[in-house]
Amino acid sequence: MSDRYLNLVNSPVGSAVAARVGLPQPSVLRRYEAGAPILPGPVLLGSTSPKPAAGLRKAVEATGAEVLDLAGEGVKVAAAVLDARSVSAPGDLARLREFLQPATKALAANGRVLVLGTPADGADITADATRQALDGIVRSLAKELRRGATANLLWVQDEASLPAALRFFLSGRSAYVDGQPVLLGAGTAPAPADWTQPLAGKTALVTGAARGIGAAIAGVLARDGAKVICADLTQAGEALAKVANRVGGTALHLDVAAPEASATLLEHLAAQTAGLDVLVHNAGITRDKLMANMKPEQWDSVIAVNLQSQLSINAALLDSDQLNQQARVVCLSSTTGLSGNRGQTNYGATKSGVIGLVRASAAAFAAHGDSTINAVAPGFIDTEMTAKMPFATREVARRLSSLQQAGLPVDVAEGVAWLASPGAGGVNGQVLRVCGQNLVGA
């Protein structure tokens, strides 16, 4: 649904009034558009060592952006990328201030700040403490930036996934990802023949695809080249067929909580595909009640759909020959699973459980031909469901993030698509929050 306040404060009159009375002034976010450049301007590249690593410069240049080592007077940059992998003592952190202070002043609207760090390895207490300080710097800086700009952190253990990560975090695909750290570890991460079609030739299945976030995920995966199987309940058949037709995919009637769900899925894959490359566990329900009023069926149904179904289907796929090598599994969690939410103990349990599932399953999927499993945790997203919330509650929720607005289903879909891409092979067992750096909870 349309955010009328966002539209108002981005009009000449509304902007003047909001500034005068001190109201929030969220900016219209720069989102991905097919055919548009990854960045609308130059990238300022810096390093805490004498110069950035050659591989980083090459990867940034490969995005098509002009790379600057110094921003001249009055020059605006679309992004600032700092290679801080060399920091090892508290005194080294001053180099971040020396780069970031002028860089943030030169940052254009909807700009991107991306810091690269070395993950802690337990070998040196001083080095690990200093490296962890990058997380606090980036999260705090993200809360200072305005006009739709974001700041994120990449822990680089292995550079294989760096090109794909740069293209995600510097582009409009990451519009609603802010203040987030992601580890780029070891893993097979081949570059696609065409970066605009990273999923070409891949078969993807999305559960809960008939509407909302699931429909958006199906659309983005298809846009990126995948052949998409759209799965949902039989009673959602008409809406499911429309989504499948729109994305050029096929429809599968599937109740993920049914005892026969895994067998049905495996039979369909064996009969209709050459194996599955991407699985997105998006199906989910809510049955909100305070714990004191929670009925057993309200508890059990949410656990069955949101958590048990993912465990069962994953186990069945790993035990079958229907999951291809270098497969990508993406599970939908929620910021409720990280910070909790009143009246959602059942839902919070499942979404936190999904995070545990992902972390615990990472090794098993890596052993299955360098496959990966990750989670996306959306924050407040404008959907048909949130549109039914009371006006005041919805407006407050929209503003409780660093970007001062709700996300859109496509923002979640873009995060899923990056984790589903071959180039994200070094990201495994992790949670990507798509929440605009929600200010409540974790």
Provide the pLDDT for residue 225. 98
What is the C-alpha to C-alpha distance for residues 43 and 439, in angstroms, rounded to an integer?
Answer: 28
- Which domains, and CATH codes, for the chain? 1-25 (no CATH), 31-184 (3.40.50.720), 203-434 (3.40.50.720)
Smallest CA-to-CA distance from 303 within 285, 282, 329, 330 is with 285
Query: Is the pLDDT assigned to residue 204 strictly greater than 60?
Result: yes
Provide the pLDDT for residue 442. 46
For 188, phi then psi, to 5°, come to -75, 120
Provide the pLDDT for residue 440. 57
What digits encode the pLDDT tens for the residues 228-282? Answer: 999 999 999 999 999 999 999 999 999 999 999 999 999 999 999 999 999 999 9
DSSP string for residues in 79-130:
EEEEE-TT--SGGGGHHHHHHHHHHHHHEEEEEEEEEEEPPP-SS-HHHHHH
* Residues 6+ away with beta carbon under 8 Å from 109: 27, 30, 147, 148, 149
Provide the pLDDT for residue 424. 98
What is the C-alpha to C-alpha distance for residues 324 and 305, in angstroms, rounded to an integer?
Answer: 25
* Cα angle value 283/295/337 (rounded, 5°): 45
What is the C-alpha to C-alpha distance for residues 115 and 145, in angstroms, rounded to an integer?
Answer: 15
What digits encode the pLDDT tens for the residues 60-73? Answer: 999 999 999 987 78
What digits encode the pLDDT tens for the residues 20-30? Answer: 888 888 888 99
Q: Quick check: 91 and 131 in contact, CB under 8 A? A: no
What is the C-alpha to C-alpha distance for residues 88 and 120, in angstroms, rounded to an integer?
Answer: 10
Query: Is the pLDDT assigned to residue 320 strictly greater than 80?
Result: yes
Is position 347 annotated as part of the catalytic site? yes
> Which residue is catalytic, options 5, 32, 176, 347?
347
Q: Tell me which residue has tokens 């891949």.
A: 202
From residue 433, alpha-carbon distances to 26, 155, 375 in Å are 19, 16, 8
Provide the pLDDT for residue 2. 75
What is the C-alpha to C-alpha distance for residues 359 and 281, in angstroms, rounded to an integer?
Answer: 15
Phi-psi region of 432 (alpha: psi -120 to 50; beta: other; left: phi over 0): beta
What digits encode the pLDDT tens for the residues 155-171? Answer: 999 999 999 999 999 99
Query: Is the pLDDT assigned to residue 358 strictly greater than 80?
Result: yes
User: pTM, whole model, 2 decimals?
Assistant: 0.95
Q: Quick check: 247 and 222 in contact, CB under 8 A? A: yes
368: amino acid identity, one letter: H
